[in-house]
Structures are given as C-alpha cells and as structure tokens.
C-alpha cells in the first residue's frame, strides 16, 4: 500500500494550458506575471472616471436637493405664519361679530326703551293735565263758596273740611310734577344718547322689515346703500369689514406667476396684504412656490438615491480592484 502512492515528480510546465489569455509575459526571470493583473488595471482605469463622474453628479444632485429643501422649508414657514395670522384674524372676526350682534341688540332695546319712555311721558303729561283741570275746578268751586258767603258753611267743618283735605292732596300731587317731568326728560335723553352712541341708524318703524334679535345667523354689519351711520357699532363694523370677516376662503384661488427677475423701477412693492389672508395673492403665490419645490423634490430625490446607489457600487468595485491589484502587483511581489 505504501508503494502504491509513491511520489512522482511533476513537470515544470504542468500549468501551461491553464494560463488565461489575460496573462502576459514580463518582469524578471524570478517573478512570473499574475493572471488578470493587466485586465484589472484596465477595469480600474474605466471605473475611476465613472466613479468620479457619479461622485460629481451625486454631489450636484445633493446640493440641489439641499438648496430646494431649504428654500421650500423657508416658504413653508412663511405659509405657516400666514396660516396662524389667518386663524387669529378669524378669531378676531368672531369676537367682533359677537360685539356687533350684542351692540345691535342694545341699539334695538334702546329704541324700544325710548319708545316706551315717550309713551310713559305722554301718560304722565296727560295725568298732570287732568290734575290741572281738577285744580281749575277746585278754584272755581272755592270762588263760588267764597262769593256765596253762606253762614252754614263753616271753615274746617263739613264739606269745607273735605275740600281743604282735597286741596292739600292736590297741591302735594302738583309739587311732584316738576321732579317727575325732569326724570322723564332725563330718561329720554339718556335713552337717545345710548341709541346714538351705539348707532345713529333710525329706529325700525312698523313699515320696516322686522328686526329679529334672536335670528340664528345675524348679519349686524351688512352694508346699507346710500346711508352713513356713526357710533360704537359702526366702529366695530368698520373693523369687521376691514378684516373681510364675511368673505370665505376660495377653493380654487387665482395665482400669479413668480417673477425671478425684474428691472429697476419695474418691481412692485411686495408683499401687499389684504384680508382674508387665506385669499391673499402673496400667500397664494408662496403656497405655489412650496408646491413647485415639492414637485421638484419628488423628481430629484429618486435620481439622487439612484446616483448614491451607483456611487456606492462603483466605490465598492473600485476598492475591490485596488485591493486585488495591490495583492497581485508584480512589482510589489518581486521586491
């Protein structure tokens, strides 16, 4: 068994047929050339410019994505701030409408109060006119008794006693007239002041459309054609209309194109704000810029990711070729 597997000398050219076509002769007699060294070197020469190109291309894409993202975020922050301003403006509108509605009710109640006081004044005036007539009748009766000079009529007795009591009460009633009339006049004056300070609008008449203070959706600041009013409610409604509180946000607003460049003297002063902010042309324009940048990023980011993958693949290929070439470099091996 030991003689069956004896050592046999192998010929020197045993691998001649296995040498690949890529192997090239060269070097010293003590160092044989390694297969595919030159081929790997050629591949590395091809990979290097491709890698440098993809690095530059990916870098440009990354810079563009970073720039557009930063610009988009800045625009988005402007839109967010304008949205916050819109929310605050709508809150102010709600408070202004609440004040205007309550002012309208106070104005209406003051009109009714003045009307009631006028009726009360007429009633009191009629009472004192009747009292004046009673006073005239009393004076006539008193003159008649005095001129009659009847000895049966003794002062302080009988009918004269009751007549004196009536005179005392009549005088007491007459004395209250001045104070009552003064208070009624003050009430009318104060009621008119309240009404005029709320609104100088004429009180609703019977022929006017009826005012409903309990309406579900009142419009206290509706524009009245051909009339100008003053007062607290008018000031509130001026602010209410200035904030365009009754204007809703449009679902498809008209936008203007962004002007990147303009000549001196031809640029408009921007931004110009008006209410409601949700319909403001500048805010809509910024939102358009945000949308355009988002669309651009949707197109650039997949390209950037693909370029990064190619970059990593070429970098791995380059590293592998460099390591392989270094390992079989004849100049290194023959040192």
Query: What is the rounded CA–CA span in Å between residue 313 and residue 46?
Result: 14
When pLDDT is cut at 50, 70 and 90, the band that residue 15 belongs to is very low
Residue 173's Cβ-count burial label (10 Å; 0-12, 13-18, 19+) is middle
pLDDT digits (tens, 9 = 90+) for 96-129: 999 999 998 999 899 889 899 989 999 998 998 9
CB 243 within 8 A of CB 93: yes
pLDDT of residue 59: 95
pLDDT of residue 29: 45
5 belongs to a structural domain: no
242 belongs to a structural domain: yes
Give the residue with greater pLDDT, 156 vs 256. 156
pLDDT of residue 256: 46
Output 75-80 pairs: Cβ under 8 A, ≥24 positions apart. Answer: 75/286, 75/289, 75/290, 75/293, 76/290, 78/286, 79/283, 79/286, 79/287, 79/290
pLDDT digits (tens, 9 = 90+) for 73-92: 999 999 999 999 999 999 99
Indicate which CATH number applies to the domain containing 110. 1.10.287
Sequence-distant (6+) residues with CB within 8 A of 132 are: none
299 belongs to a structural domain: yes
CB 123 within 8 A of CB 256: no
221 φ/ψ angles, rounded to the nearest 5 degrees: -115, 30
44 belongs to a structural domain: yes
pLDDT digits (tens, 9 = 90+) for 234-244: 999 999 999 99
Residues spanned by the domain of 286: 37-246+269-331
pLDDT at residue 19 greater than cutoff 70:
no
pLDDT of residue 24: 46
pLDDT at residue 4 greater than cutoff 80:
no
pLDDT of residue 270: 65
24 belongs to a structural domain: no
252 belongs to a structural domain: no
pLDDT of residue 305: 95
Total domain count, the chain: 1
pLDDT at residue 249 greater than cutoff 50:
yes
DSSP per-residue codes, 73-107: HHHHHHHHHHHHHHHHHHHHHHHHHHHHHHHHHHH
Give the least confident one: 32-46, 72-86, 178-192: 32-46
Q: pTM of this prediction?
A: 0.64
6 belongs to a structural domain: no
251 belongs to a structural domain: no
pLDDT of residue 84: 95
pLDDT of residue 28: 43
């Amino acid at each position: 068994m030991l003689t069956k597997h004896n050592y046999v000398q192998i010929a020197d050219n045993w691998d001649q047929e296995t040498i690949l076509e890529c192997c090239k002769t060269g070097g010293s007699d003590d160092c044989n050339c390694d297969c595919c060294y030159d081929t790997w070197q050629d591949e590395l020469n091809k990979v290097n410019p491709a890698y440098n190109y993809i690095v530059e291309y990916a870098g440009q894409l990354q810079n563009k994505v970073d720039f557009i993202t930063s610009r988009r975020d800045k625009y988005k922050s402007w839109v967010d701030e304008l949205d916050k301003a819109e929310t605050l403006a709508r809150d102010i509108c709600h408070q202004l409408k609440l004040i205007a509605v309550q002012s309208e009710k106070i104005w209406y109640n003051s009109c009714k109060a003045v009307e009631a006081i006028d009726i009360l004044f007429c009633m009191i005036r009629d009472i004192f006119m009747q009292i004046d007539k009673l006073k005239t009748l009393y004076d006539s009766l008193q003159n008649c008794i005095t001129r009659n000079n009847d000895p049966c009529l003794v002062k302080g007795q009988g009918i004269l006693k009751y007549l004196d009591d009536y005179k005392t009460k009549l005088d007491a009633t007459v004395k209250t007239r001045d104070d009552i009339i003064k208070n009624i006049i003050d009430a009318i004056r104060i009621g008119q002041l309240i009404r005029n300070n709320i609104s100088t609008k004429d009180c609703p008449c019977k022929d006017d459309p009826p005012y409903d203070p309990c309406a579900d959706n009142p419009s206290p600041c509706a524009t009245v054609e051909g009339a100008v009013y003053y007062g607290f409610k008018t000031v509130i409604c001026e602010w209410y209309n200035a904030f365009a509180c009754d204007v809703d946000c449009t679902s498809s607003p008209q936008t203007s194109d962004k002007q990147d460049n303009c000549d001196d003297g031809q640029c408009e002063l921007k931004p110009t704000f008006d209410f409601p902010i949700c319909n403001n042309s500048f805010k809509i324009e910024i939102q358009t810029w945000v949308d355009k940048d988002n669309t651009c990023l949707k197109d650039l980011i997949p390209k950037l990711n693909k370029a990064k993958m190619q970059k990593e693949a070429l970098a791995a290929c380059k590293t592998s070729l460099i390591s392989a070439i270094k390992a079989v470099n004849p100049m290194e091996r023959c040192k």
